[in-house]
């Protein structure tokens, strides 16, 4: 059987794989800067891993909204038309979805080996599931159960919801950020850049040094304790993430579970588990009891988007 082609396309890299019997194989990572667009990158990949045939179906996940045929990557020069790429690849069907839709679609295929429990109990079968995760941005999606037993993944821009403070220090931090650049979205504090923003704001409002300049510096020095402001920034990052995760659980009625993903959290799972994240997840007044049984899990699967995309070409 000719395999399906899948790709997880971000601002810096595009990861390709072939799907054989539902399993992604032949995974390769190509730099987006080296190619004019996804068609050229995919053809280069196929020429090496599948020289004697071509897939008949393909599914791409992209780090940007998908609102029609025209797709423009948020952090890349790639601009393309879905049907034009389909024709260039010679596939019968090309499905393009938001990257966090693909992550959400992976959840029904995950096993306990693919996630780490952070709180709560067991999922309520056939109930909505919320998915979110900080990386370059803040991805948000949800799985909605369908009458046929399947799932529909929502394409959302929920990462751009307004961030609300939960205590006096957070109010001071968000006030400072608002004074610097207007609207403070959840993504502005819950992302790689968000770590830097939190560090700068905390340094400003406490009068401490603000020497750290990159997400890696803030996270590594926060974890090691080498920089007290980095420690504060990382602690606030986890707490604010708990606030947003709890909001999403209430918004979607996600008694089927809340799953965390993205490029940041899997690199510091123990720090997340030991943080105020889950306490803040529950901090919703009278609805603490509603949230307490909801399972909250960190996805540790190395390529969850591939697990979701594989189902689209099956």
pLDDT at 50: 85
CATH superfamily of 4-91: ATPase, nucleotide binding domain (3.30.420.40)
pLDDT tier at 272, thresholds 50, 70, 90: very high
The 10s digit of each residue's pLDDT in 47-87 is 999 887 889 999 999 988 899 999 999 878 999 999 999 99
Q: Tell me the average pLDDT of the chain.
A: 94
Mean per-residue pLDDT, 215-224: 95
Mean per-residue pLDDT, 148-170: 94
pTM of the model: 0.92
Q: Rounded to an integer, what distance in angstroms lies between the CA atom of residue 274 and that of residue 150?
A: 35
pLDDT tier at 217, thresholds 50, 70, 90: very high
Decide: 33 and 312 in contact? Cβ < 8 Å: no
Q: Which of 175, 171, 177 lies closest to 194 in space, CA to CA? A: 177
Residue 167's CB is within 10 A of a number of other CB atoms, namely 12
> Is residue 219 predicted with pLDDT exceeding 70?
yes
> Is residue 266 predicted with pLDDT exceeding 80?
yes
pLDDT tier at 1, thresholds 50, 70, 90: low
pLDDT tier at 314, thresholds 50, 70, 90: confident
Percent of the chain with pLDDT over 90: 87
pLDDT at 11: 81
CA distance to 77, 79, 109, 293, 302, per residue, from 241 (Å): 30, 32, 25, 18, 21
pLDDT tier at 170, thresholds 50, 70, 90: very high
CA distance to 7, 61, 194, 252, per residue, from 158 (Å): 23, 17, 16, 12
The side-by-side arrangement of strands in the sheet containing 115-119 is 115-119, 296-299, 258-260, 129-134, 138-145, 151-153
The 10s digit of each residue's pLDDT in 9-56 is 988 899 999 998 889 999 999 999 999 999 999 999 999 998 878 899
The 10s digit of each residue's pLDDT in 97-127 is 999 999 999 999 999 999 999 999 999 999 9
Q: State the span(s) of the chain assigned CATH 3.40.367.20.
A: 100-301
Decide: 264 and 219 in contact? Cβ < 8 Å: yes
Percent of the chain with pLDDT over 70: 100
Q: 56-65 as b/e, with b when 16 or more CB fall inside 10 Å? A: bbbbbbbbbe
Mean per-residue pLDDT, 280-287: 97
| Assigned CATH class of 100-301 | alpha beta
DSSP 3-state of 67 = coil
Q: State the span(s) of the chain assigned CATH 3.30.420.40.
A: 4-91
pLDDT at 54: 84
């Amino acid at each position: 059987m000719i395999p399906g082609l899948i790709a997880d396309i971000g601002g810096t890299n595009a990861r390709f794989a072939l799907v054989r019997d539902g399993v992604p194989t032949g995974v390769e990572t190509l730099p987006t800067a080296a190619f004019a667009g996804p068609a050229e990158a995919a053809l280069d990949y196929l020429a090496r891993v599948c020289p004697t045939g071509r897939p008949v179906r393909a599914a791409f996940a992209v780090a940007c909204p998908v609102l029609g045929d025209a797709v423009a990557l948020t952090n890349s020069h790639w601009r393309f038309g879905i049907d034009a790429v389909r024709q260039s690849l010679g596939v019968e069907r090309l499905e393009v979805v938001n990257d966090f839709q693909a992550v959400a679609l992976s959840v029904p295929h995950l096993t306990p080996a693919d996630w780490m429990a952070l709180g709560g109990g067991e999922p309520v079968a056939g109930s909505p599931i919320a998915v979110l995760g900080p990386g370059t941005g803040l991805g948000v999606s949800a799985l909605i159960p369908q009458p046929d037993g399947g799932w529909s993944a929502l394409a959302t821009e929920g990462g751009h919801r307004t961030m609300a403070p939960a205590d006096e220090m957070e109010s001071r931090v968000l006030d400072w950020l608002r004074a610097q650049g207007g609207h403070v979205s959840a993504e502005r504090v819950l992302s790689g850049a968000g770590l830097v923003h939190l560090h700068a704001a905390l340094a400003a409002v406490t009068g401490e040094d603000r020497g750290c300049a990159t997400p890696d510096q803030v996270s590594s020095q926060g974890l090691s304790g080498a920089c007290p402001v980095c420690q504060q920034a990382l602690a606030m990052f986890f707490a604010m993430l708990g606030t947003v995760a709890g909001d999403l659980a209430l918004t979607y009625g996600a008694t089927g579970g809340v799953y965390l993903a993205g490029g940041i959290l899997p690199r510091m799972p123990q720090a997340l588990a030991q943080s105020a994240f889950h306490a803040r997840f529950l901090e919703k007044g009278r609805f603490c009891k509603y949230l307490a049984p909801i399972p909250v899990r960190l996805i540790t699967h190395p390529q969850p988007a591939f697990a979701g995309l594989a189902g689209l070409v099956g």
